[in-house]
């Protein structure tokens, strides 16, 4: 097998997206489009992967890091011009070069491999990946001669009325003999509707020079969808979502309504977990097995154990144990650690706090900057008073303590093991273990006062 290289085009601004964000960085199921492409390409073990950057070069490089090498295209003069920028890195090399666009996020490693195999079998100098599109508008069309061989590719904007009828499209993915690619690119002109140096023109030039040109048609147009605007972005999102959801359903996860379930590419879910509609699992979120998640639940960048139930709630950047119950209507904010068997009920907010095994905050509480031990009962309406307007302070509650309803724990404060804080108390001083602390005015009844 000869050396293999890949060039990923990601220098365009993506004018049609009408966005501040550079096109290839728009996420599809939580991952930037160009990252999808790089990840699929990386599976195949290329000798070198060069990404062409231009618009937003620094942000694209920050995203892709050291996964690839870079070449800069200062001015966006077209896809042919973009590939030329890789000449300094690849120009002298012998082997096969795959060129891909950073805006085709659905393309899989398998299809790229199939294209490579076809290219090598045909001993072609160039092989284009094509697809049959019911609505080919916007794409370059594959023009074949009477023998059915590829002659050239014509861009939508340059196509004649008859050529626009062609439904076989250029997916923007190709294999080239590396030396032929760079030699031929020098001959590409920009006399066309867009005044750009088109990469697809390499095909026609090689064909006219009598070289072997091949085409490999994938049966999945969906996979080759090129995202140029937000309509296509939503289509890509829908297709990727379906792919991800089907994968989890085949792995033993129940999705009550897959259409209404949003699982990021990086998320994972254990067997026999049931996900109700309106649930979003964002970023690297790990859900254990036998959980019930949703409806209307958002979990971001968090780890959830087994057998946990989370309903109508939000969990961000936190860890939740097994057999936990959260919600409905709870808010777990970043850096929280919820132990096994914990119950967090309705209208409870937890921020940067730890709750040990078996502890409960079942109703209407705020727990912030708190370290709560095991089997603590945090009753209805109790709050940690963690903020004085300038600084945050910590509350520590040791194992087995009972915090009565509507208690205010003014931090910094420690409640000792098995201590009991009476309902309605405002606690400003530490409470020793096993003590009862009452900090509220005594009740006086004024008999007959109302009359
Ligand atoms: C391109 C193809 C078209 C094909 C379609 C498939 C050309 C001329 N046309 O059209 O035949 O059907 O893809 O999706 O190649 N880019 C650069 N530098 C540039 C211009 C573009 O890096 O100067 C990058 C873009 O960031 C993008 C990719 O190349 O990732 C494709 O460019 P785009 O403008 O989307 O081309 P299409 O019009 O989609
Ligand atoms: Mg495109």
- Two tokens at 269? 């879910």
pLDDT of residue 1 exceeding 70, the answer is: no
Q: Is 101 in the pocket of ligand 1 (CB under 6 A)?
A: yes
How many angstroms separate the alpha carbon of residue 222 from the centre of ligand 2? Answer: 14
90 in a domain, yes or no? Answer: yes
Best residue among 158, 167, 172 to mutate for probing ligand 1, ranked by most atoms within 8 Å of CB: 172
Residues with a catalytic annotation lie at 363
Q: Is 236 in the pocket of ligand 1 (CB under 6 A)?
A: no
CB 358 within 8 A of CB 369: no
Give pLDDT, residue 361: 98
Ligand 1 atom closest to the CA of 75, numbered from 1: 23
Measured distance CA(392)–CA(382) in Å, rounded: 18
Percent of the chain surpassing pLDDT 90: 99
233 in a domain, yes or no? Answer: no
Ligand 1 atom closest to the CA of 172, numbered from 1: 6
Residues with CB under 5 A from ligand 2 (ion): 103, 226, 228
Q: Is residue 41 classed as helix, strand or coil in its secondary structure?
A: helix
The verdict on 115 and 217 lying in the same domain is: yes
Q: Is 130 in the pocket of ligand 1 (CB under 6 A)?
A: no
Percent of the chain surpassing pLDDT 70: 100
234 in a domain, yes or no? Answer: no
CATH of the domain at 90: 3.90.550.10
For the segment 21-73, what is each residue's pLDDT rounded down to a tens digit? 999 999 999 999 999 999 999 999 999 999 999 999 999 999 999 999 999 99
For the segment 312-329, what is each residue's pLDDT rounded down to a tens digit? 999 999 999 999 999 999
47 in a domain, yes or no? Answer: yes
Best residue among 12, 35, 50 to mutate for probing ligand 1, ranked by most atoms within 8 Å of CB: 12
CATH of the domain at 341: 2.160.10.10
How many angstroms separate the alpha carbon of residue 140 from the centre of ligand 1? Answer: 10
451 in a domain, yes or no? Answer: no
Q: How many domains does the chain fold into?
A: 2
- Does the pTM exceed 0.85? yes
- Two tokens at 322? 């097994």
Ligand 1 atom closest to the CA of 34, numbered from 1: 30
For the segment 342-355, what is each residue's pLDDT rounded down to a tens digit? 999 999 999 999 99
The verdict on 78 and 206 lying in the same domain is: yes
Q: Is 24 in the pocket of ligand 1 (CB under 6 A)?
A: yes
9: pLDDT confidence band, cut at 50, 70 and 90?
Answer: very high
The verdict on 314 and 408 lying in the same domain is: yes
How many angstroms separate the alpha carbon of residue 120 from the centre of ligand 1? Answer: 25
For the segment 68-113, what is each residue's pLDDT rounded down to a tens digit? 999 999 999 999 999 999 999 999 999 999 999 999 999 999 999 9
Mean pLDDT of 184-210: 97
160 in a domain, yes or no? Answer: yes
How many angstroms separate the alpha carbon of residue 161 from the centre of ligand 1? Answer: 22
Which residue owns the Cα nearest ligand 1 atom 36? 79
The verdict on 264 and 165 lying in the same domain is: no
DSSP 8-state symbol, 17 = G
Q: Which of 314, 303, 388, 392 is nearest to 346 (CA)?
A: 314
CB 380 within 8 A of CB 405: yes
The verdict on 263 and 393 lying in the same domain is: yes
The verdict on 183 and 53 lying in the same domain is: yes
For the segment 105-141, what is each residue's pLDDT rounded down to a tens digit? 999 999 999 999 999 999 999 999 999 999 999 999 9
Any idea which ligand is nearest the CA of 137?
1
DSSP 8-state symbol, 326 = E
For tokens 């109700």, the residue is 276
- Two tokens at 127? 């092989």
CB pairs under 8 A, 24+ apart, for 137-142?
137/164, 138/226, 138/228, 139/169, 139/170, 139/171, 139/226, 140/169, 140/170, 140/172, 140/200, 141/166, 141/168, 141/169, 141/170, 142/166, 142/168, 142/169, 142/170, 142/215
Range(s) of the domain holding residue 429: 251-437
């Amino acid at each position: 097998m000869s050396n293999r290289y890949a060039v990923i085009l990601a220098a365009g601004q993506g004018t049609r997206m009408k966005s501040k964000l550079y096109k290839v960085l728009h996420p599809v199921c939580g991952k930037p489009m160009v990252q999808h492409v790089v990840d699929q390409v990386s599976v195949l073990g290329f000798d070198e992967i060069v990404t062409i950057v231009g618009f937003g070069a620094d942000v694209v490089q920050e995203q892709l890091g050291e996964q690839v090498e870079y070449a800069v295209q200062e001015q966006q003069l077209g896809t042919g011009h973009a590939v030329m920028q890789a000449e300094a890195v690849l120009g002298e090399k012998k082997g096969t070069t795959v060129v891909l666009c950073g805006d085709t996020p659905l393309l899989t490693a398998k299809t790229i491999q199939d294209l490579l195999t076809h290219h090598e079998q045909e001993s072609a100098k160039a092989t284009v990946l094509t697809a049959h599109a019911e609505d080919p508008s916007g794409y370059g069309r594959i023009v074949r001669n009477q023998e059915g061989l590829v002659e050239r590719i014509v861009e939508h904007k340059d196509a004649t009325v008859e050529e626009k009828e062609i439904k076989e499209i250029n997916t923007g993915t190709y294999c080239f003999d590396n030396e032929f690619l760079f030699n031929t690119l020098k001959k590409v002109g920009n006399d066309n509707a867009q005044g750009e140096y088109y990469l697809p023109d390499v095909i026609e030039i090689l064909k006219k020079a009598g070289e072997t040109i091949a085409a490999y048609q994938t049966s999945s147009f969906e996979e080759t969808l090129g995202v140029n605007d937000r309509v296509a972005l939503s289509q890509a999102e829908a297709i990727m979502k379906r792919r991800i959801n089907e994968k989890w359903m085949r792995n033993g996860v129940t999705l009550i309504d897959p259409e209404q379930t949003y699982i990021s590419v990086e998320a994972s879910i254990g067997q026999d977990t049931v996900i109700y509609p309106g649930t979003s699992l964002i970023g690297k979120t790990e859900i254990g097995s036998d959980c019930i998640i949703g409806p209307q639940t958002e979990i971001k960048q968090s780890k959830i154990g087994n057998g946990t139930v989370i309903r109508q709630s939000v969990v961000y950047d936190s860890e939740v144990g097994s057999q936990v119950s959260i919600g409905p209507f709870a808010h777990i904010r970043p850096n929280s650690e919820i132990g096994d068997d914990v119950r967090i009920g309705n209208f409870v907010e937890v921020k940067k706090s730890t709750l040990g095994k078996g502890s409960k905050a079942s109703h209407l509480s705020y727990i912030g900057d708190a370290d709560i031990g095991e089997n603590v009962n945090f009753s209805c309406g109790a709050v940690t008073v963690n903020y004085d307007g300038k600084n945050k302070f910590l509350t520590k509650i040791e194992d087995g303590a009972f915090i009565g309803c509507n208690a205010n724990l003014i931090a910094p404060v420690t409640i000792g093991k098995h201590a009991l804080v009476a309902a309605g108390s405002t606690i400003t001083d530490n409470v020793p273990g096993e003590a009862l602390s009452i900090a509220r005015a005594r009740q006086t009844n004024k008999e007959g006062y109302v009359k």
